[in-house]
Structure 1
């Protein structure tokens, strides 16, 4: 069997010395593996024909699509409007399209990159039919490596990839574009600098270390019932919750009362949800000096965001005074200031210090005792 192939099995049986010639190594590999090449011929024996150029463009079209889609994914991730917009709000359609368009770009980039290689192999690699007999391999590891390298080199020579260097360059560019799109979306999803503002307002307090409960000036922050209606403002008093019981709350400032946008943001901001709980009368809570004065009698307030993966913690078992996360079954003991006693959560739920104002409404005395939700790199365990 020659480099162009004559359909007959050829080999180097009985050779003790490893040949240096690539074609001889290729023959040696097929002979030692008992491979019979029944059909083996080049796709394009005549070079630079119209059909060959058309096949080459077919491969390049797929990889050009990879470049467009890969870079498009990066652009969509970085500049497309992604912040939540309620149904009917301005920009709602653009917000709804963010995830589908991003997924479409990534999917097209991956599929077109693979299709380019599939077309390259089908249109340019040798057309062959091989039959191999089952046997126990006897050649040495050195022969294995040499013949494998020779087989790969023969495929490259037969497909004339060295002459068609445009394929190598195009594959590199498309792989770079695909990697850019995937890298931006993957790394961008986990990158957040805790001291930078998150875009909700211009305050330097608007970081992972602070929430919407943080005091900004002298304005009082009330506990507002989270009823589901972004425009409804219901302030809470001790008489509003029976023991044992709980209520979901979000922060409210009087300056926001006639500002629908501010009311909406306060309710929809991901780190604002808290739970106001009323423990059964006489419940003994483990004393902690650092938590003194943060509760009002049997009333305590904690973050509603699980410290494992951020699910809402809203299941309360009054008999045992425990909060449950429904996602991964983390359990928090309210008698020990919401410390985790079961499940994957590793940190207690941050506590919100509360008090009553002159009119008997619950108010927040400050922000949570710790950053809410899952841990991040700069957060000490």
Structure 2
């Protein structure tokens, strides 16, 4: 007795000589089936499957004006879907995920305010156009037939004839000769695939590389400058005054996490000044510099009451005492404002001795309370 392999993916016994058993397999040998054309196999399989064709619409005549117009419509729709997908990619790249030197300018209005809506709109438009293109292709270019079929168990004969039917469907789709649609499908598929996988980049790329949340652009020798870029010398401020300063680097006054308060203490404040442990030399003379970012929710703290030596946050009323290392003395904040170590350079201008010794702003998941 001959054993025939019938698991999916096998030949089903087509490579074994002799008669097969099981429905139509009793009527046709593998050799006979191999000699029948695909079209005849398709029709033969339909007949044995109990398929009754009620109506056949062959679709547009190949090469006709109707077909060319439909091909252009479908190709244009798929191409627009691809363009929308690639536009999504360009805007997403513009966020700086792939190109660190290219960032949207964050403003209250303008294009940057539309960043997220544009991503959603372009992704939605691309997916809608894919659906429209598939509907147009099905309606205008594929043959249509109405048939009824009785269901029964499969056999080798069924596998061979079903394969012929599937190949016949691909042939009838006309993709092999409709190059415009094929190319637009490739273009659309590439754009759509990239569009769908790009947001997953956050799962691949470590966003904490280089400790971006724990560092700023302050560093050894970086000058303290005003918003207009002018440097500051000791003596430029009156005792009891506060000046907001930024690092003298390109775009320094646009970097919110680097905003710093340079405060000149009054003599009576200097007498009672108690820096945090290990930060006794962070100030310079009667000057101290603290982060402008509240450690509670990240609001800018810039209301300074020199009579009470307190810096106030206008958002949630946290208060920090500058004569006690800017530790919180009122409100919801629980961490002191980080202090920037400062000195002066050879020209007598204020410079940073280093970056902040701790991350500025609110506490996040992997930072201990300080």
TM-score by length of 2: 0.54
Are 1:26 and 2:42 matched, yes or no? yes
Query: How far, CA to CA, are the matches of 1:168 and 1:239 in structure 2?
Result: 66
Aligned-pair CA distance for 1:83: 6.8
Are 1:37 and 2:49 matched, yes or no? no
Query: How far, CA to CA, are the matches of 2:338 and 2:300 in structure 1?
Result: 11
Look up the match of 2:300.
Answer: 230
Aligned-pair CA distance for 1:16: 2.5
Query: How far, CA to CA, are the matches of 2:328 and 2:202 in structure 1?
Result: 46
Look up the match of 1:273.
Answer: 362
Look up the match of 1:374.
Answer: none
One of 13, 26, 51 as aligned partner of 2:66 = 51
Relative distance call for 1:173 and 1:144 in structure 2 (3 A) is farther
One of 312, 318, 329 as aligned partner of 1:240 = 329
Aligned-pair CA distance for 1:65: 0.5
Are 1:61 and 2:84 matched, yes or no? no
Query: How far, CA to CA, are the matches of 1:188 and 1:31 in structure 2?
Result: 54
RMSD of the alignment, in Å? Answer: 4.1
The 5-angstrom pairing of residues 247-262 of structure 1 reads: 247-249=333-335, 251-253=337-339
Aligned-pair CA distance for 1:96: 2.3
One of 122, 127, 139 as aligned partner of 1:122 = 139
One of 160, 174, 179 as aligned partner of 2:174 = 160
Are 1:182 and 2:196 matched, yes or no? yes
Relative distance call for 1:31 and 1:226 in structure 2 (3 A) is same
Query: How far, CA to CA, are the matches of 1:58 and 1:221 in structure 2?
Result: 63
Aligned-pair CA distance for 1:113: 1.9
Query: How far, CA to CA, are the matches of 1:150 and 1:271 in structure 2?
Result: 68
Look up the match of 2:274.
Answer: none
Look up the match of 2:162.
Answer: 148
Runs of 5+ unmatched residues, structure 2? 1-23, 97-102, 221-256, 259-277, 284-288, 303-310, 312-318, 343-355
Aligned-pair CA distance for 1:128: 0.6
Tell which structure's C-alpha radius of gyration is larger.
Answer: 2
One of 27, 35, 57 as aligned partner of 1:15 = 27
Query: How far, CA to CA, are the matches of 2:177 and 2:92 in structure 1?
Result: 38
Runs of 5+ unmatched residues, structure 1? 1-11, 206-210, 257-265, 275-304, 307-348, 354-381
* 3-state SS, counterpart of residue 251 of structure 1: coil
Q: For the Cα contact (< 8 Å) 1:43–1:159, is it kept in 2?
A: no
Query: How far, CA to CA, are the matches of 2:148 and 2:165 in structure 1?
Result: 16
Are 1:92 and 2:109 matched, yes or no? yes
Q: For the Cα contact (< 8 Å) 1:43–1:125, is it kept in 2?
A: yes
Query: How far, CA to CA, are the matches of 2:335 and 2:111 in structure 1?
Result: 30
